[in-house]
Amino acid sequence: MFSLLIMIFNLYTAGRALQHWTDYKISSQWTILGFLGRLVATACITFVPWWYIFGFSKDDNARPAEINAAARVYMSVMLNVPLIALSFVLIPGLAEGSMIAMELAPFTIIPYMVSST
């Protein structure tokens, strides 16, 4: 049900952005608002139910220690997965981009700028 509300909100913000697609500033504001809304809603769906288990409640001893340990491991994985995924994407992208820039540099104006100084 909550995912349906997120989808409706995203459709609304996308529709508002498309209404002003010739004005970049207004269109980008609606697009960013839709993205932030989806990000906040997804974070709430994912993390808020685990805060109770994660150890911020007073009844921490009411559950078995195995459940608390599993919840803490789950939260650690969920918080570190985006960082790991970004490291797999960012570093090869930067390396490939610098290789392309080095290969294309002789065919641009840069050698002429260097030789004229």
The residue type at 2: F
Among residues 42, 33, 30, the alpha carbon closest in space to that of 6 is found at 42
Cβ contact 17:27 at 8 Å: yes
pLDDT in tens, 1-16: 677 888 899 899 989 9
Rounded to two decimals, the pTM is: 0.45
- Output the CA–CA distances (angstroms, integers) from residue 29 to 13, 14, 18, 34, in the order listed: 9, 10, 11, 9
Q: Which residue has the higher pLDDT, 53 or 9?
A: 9
Q: Which class for 24: exposed (0-12), middle (13-18), buried (19 or more C-beta within 10 A)?
A: exposed
pLDDT in tens, 60-100: 667 777 877 787 788 778 777 877 777 777 777 777 777 77
